[in-house]
């Protein structure tokens, strides 16, 4: 055996931060080869997907509005993931949050006032949280695996969306298109940079990530989340209830996803449409791990995945790559991230000569 894995004495801090970078680079490299092999210009694809969005200043606003929901959802999920609560259904919570906020918008469509938008946001949080409370209840009462229940509820949420769009919530003046009426001026997130599409939700998402960082590192609650995730028996000994932690983690994950949902509805969409679910809830899982479940890392991870989304759109028009190309790159990124993760606890040892050196 030429290359051996050798356990490190302590997990490598350098590798902890380096492996996400390695994963992104490996994705670009292997992705380029893969697309070349299936007959595209692979390296042009990599350039369009990963580089163009960064050097084209007109695309920066797109990066912002794509990164915001990813960051928001990923921060919420990361809290659960740290506690070993595997909420995979953020997509569904995102949809239900968006729907809950839209419900408020439809109830108040003839009204105006500063209070409407905050109310929609609160409804979004509650909607997402309530939807996440179903797997939380099943987990704590019946020990149902939350991975399965939360994932399957995503598809129920999509069906709920389709039903509402084609039936009760259809715009009466909308020529029978399956979508709601447009939100009014009190119901949409204001632009914060005039002349761009950057809405208030973008800075808020960044701000919430920073607040989450503070809470996770300084508070007993953040400590509780970490203990429950690392050592459940120690958590019980320390006086932290596993069930309460599951509830908190699910509600936060669902609430953040719901908030991202209503931000998206009241921001870029300005109405609710059947095309509302775009996979942010799933992509956010990649963002959370790319960011090492750390809020600041997640901001960076969110930007990287936003680049791949925006770049994917560019590559569609400029190179005629299919829509799925960006998804392939995103999945590859998660794959490489999980694959290189082993380097945090292990090191590669070249075993050319059987001369075992001292531990360096």
Partner 1 sequence: MTEQTDYRIELNAVTKSFPGVLANDRVSFAIKPGEIHALLGENGAGKSTLVKMIYGIMQPDEGEIRWEGEAIKVANPKAARKLGVGMVFQHFSLFEAMTVLENIALGMDAKISQNLLEDKIREVMDVYGLKLDPHRIVSTLSVGERQRIEIVRALLLNPQLLIMDEPTSVLTPQEVAQLFETLRKLSATGCSILYISHKLHEIKELCDQATILRGGKVVGECDPKQETSKSMAEMMIGGDLKQIEKEVKTEFGEPRFIVDNLSQDGEGDFGVALSDISFTVRAGEIFGIAGVAGNGQNELLMALSGETPSLNAETIKLDGKSVADQTILQRRKHGLCAVPEERNGHAAVVDFSLSDNAILTARDRMNLSNNGMIKHAQARKYTKDVISTFGVKTTGDASPAGSLSGGNLQKFVVGREIMQKPDVLLISQPTWGVDAGAAAAIHQAIVDLADNGSAIIVISQDLDELLAICDEMAVINEGRLSKTLKVGEASVDEIGLLMGGIHGEPSASQDQAENAHAH
List interacting residues with partner 1 (CB under 8 A).
6-11, 218-221, 223, 226-227, 230-231, 233-234, 236-239, 356, 358-359
Nearer to partner 1, 120 or 249 (CB): 249
Supply 113's token pair.
């006032």
**Least distance to partner 1, CB of residue 357, Å:** 9
Nearer to partner 1, 10 or 110 (CB): 10
How far apart are alpha carbons 345 and 11 in whole angstroms? 5
**Least distance to partner 1, CB of residue 249, Å:** 17
How far apart are alpha carbons 24 and 50 in whole angstroms? 10
Nearer to partner 1, 7 or 58 (CB): 7
Burial of 142 (0-12, 13-18, 19+ CB in 10 A): exposed
Supply 185's token pair.
């001026």
- What distance lies between CA 277 and its chain's CA centroid? 13
Nearer to partner 1, 229 or 301 (CB): 229
Nearer to partner 1, 216 or 325 (CB): 216
**Least distance to partner 1, CB of residue 235, Å:** 8
How far apart are alpha carbons 311 and 48 in whole angstroms? 6
CB of 19 within 8 A of CB of 338?
no
Supply 306's token pair.
């936003």
Nearer to partner 1, 9 or 141 (CB): 9
Nearer to partner 1, 143 or 176 (CB): 143
CB of 208 within 8 A of CB of 256?
yes
**Least distance to partner 1, CB of residue 167, Å:** 45
Supply 31's token pair.
């992705």
Using CA atoms, how far residue 68 sits from 22, 75, 88, 304, in Å, is 24, 11, 19, 12
**HSE toward the beta carbon, residue 228, CA cutoff 13 A:** 25
Helical (H) or strand (E) element with 346: strand 346-350
Backbone Cα Rg of the chain: 22
**Least distance to partner 1, CB of residue 236, Å:** 5
**Least distance to partner 1, CB of residue 125, Å:** 21
**Least distance to partner 1, CB of residue 4, Å:** 12
**Least distance to partner 1, CB of residue 341, Å:** 15
Q: Which residues contact 152 (CB under 8 A, 6 or more apart)?
A: 89
Nearer to partner 1, 51 or 242 (CB): 242
């Amino acid at each position: 055996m030429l290359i051996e894995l050798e356990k490190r004495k302590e997990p490598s801090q350098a590798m902890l931060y380096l492996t996400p970078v390695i994963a992104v680079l490996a994705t670009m490299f292997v992705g380029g080869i893969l697309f070349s092999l299936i007959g595209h210009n692979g390296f042009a694809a990599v350039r369009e997907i990963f580089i163009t969005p960064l050097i084209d200043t007109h695309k920066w606003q797109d990066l912002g509005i794509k990164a915001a929901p990813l960051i928001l959802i990923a921060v919420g999920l990361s809290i659960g993931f740290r506690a070993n609560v595997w909420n995979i259904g953020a997509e569904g919570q995102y949809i239900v949050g968006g729907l809950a906020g839209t419900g408020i918008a439809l109830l108040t469509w003839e009204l105006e006032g500063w209070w409407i938008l905050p109310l929609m946001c609160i409804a979004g949080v509650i909607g997402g949280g309530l939807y996440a409370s179903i797997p939380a209840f099943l987990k704590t009462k019946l020990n149902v695996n939350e991975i399965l229940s939360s994932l399957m509820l995503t598809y129920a949420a999509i069906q709920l969306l389709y039903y509402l769009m084609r039936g009760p919530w259809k715009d009466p003046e909308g020529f029978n298109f399956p979508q709601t009426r447009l939100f009014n001026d009190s119901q949409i997130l204001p632009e914060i940079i005039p002349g761009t599409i950057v809405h208030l939700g973008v800075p808020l998402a960044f701000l919430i990530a920073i607040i989450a960082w503070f809470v996770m590192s300084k508070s007993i609650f953040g400590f509780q989340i970490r203990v429950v995730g690392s050592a459940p028996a120690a958590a019980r000994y320390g006086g932290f209830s596993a069930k309460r932690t599951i509830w908190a983690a699910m509600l936060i994950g669902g609430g953040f996803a719901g908030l991202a949902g209503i931000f998206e509805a009241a921001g870029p969409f300005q109405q609710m449409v059947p095309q509302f679910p775009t996979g942010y809830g799933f992509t956010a899982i990649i963002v959370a791990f790319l960011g090492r479940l750390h809020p600041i890392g997640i901001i960076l991870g969110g930007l990287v995945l936003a680049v791949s989304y925006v770049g994917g759109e560019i590559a569609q028009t400029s190179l005629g790559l299919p829509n799925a190309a960006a998804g392939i790159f995103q999945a590859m990124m998660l794959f490489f991230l999980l694959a290189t993760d082993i380097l945090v606890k292990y090191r590669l040892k070249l075993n050319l000569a059987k001369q075992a050196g001292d531990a360096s």
